[in-house]
Amino acid sequence: MKNKNSIKPYIIVLAVMLLLLSFAAYLWGVQQFMRLQ
């Protein structure tokens, strides 16, 4: 049970990092699209 508790915050941090990465990629994509217009 102790291992499960110690691994949960790591998963949350990983999910937040993925969310930020996808958001940054989305913003970059929008910038590239605006530049093409």
7-36 per-position pLDDT tens digit: 788 999 999 999 999 999 999 999 999 998
Residue listed under structure tokens 């990983």: 14
Amino acid at 12: I
pLDDT of res. 1: 53
Rounded Cα distance between 4 and 10, Å, is 10
Amino acid at 17: M
Rounded Cα distance between 35 and 10, Å, is 37
DSSP state of 11: H
Strand, helix or coil at 37? Answer: coil
For the chain, the C-alpha Rg in angstroms (whole number) is: 16
pTM above 0.85, yes or no: no
Q: For the chain, what are the domain ranges?
A: 1-37
Reply yes or no on whether the pLDDT at 6 is more than 80.
no
2 versus 28: the higher-pLDDT residue is 28
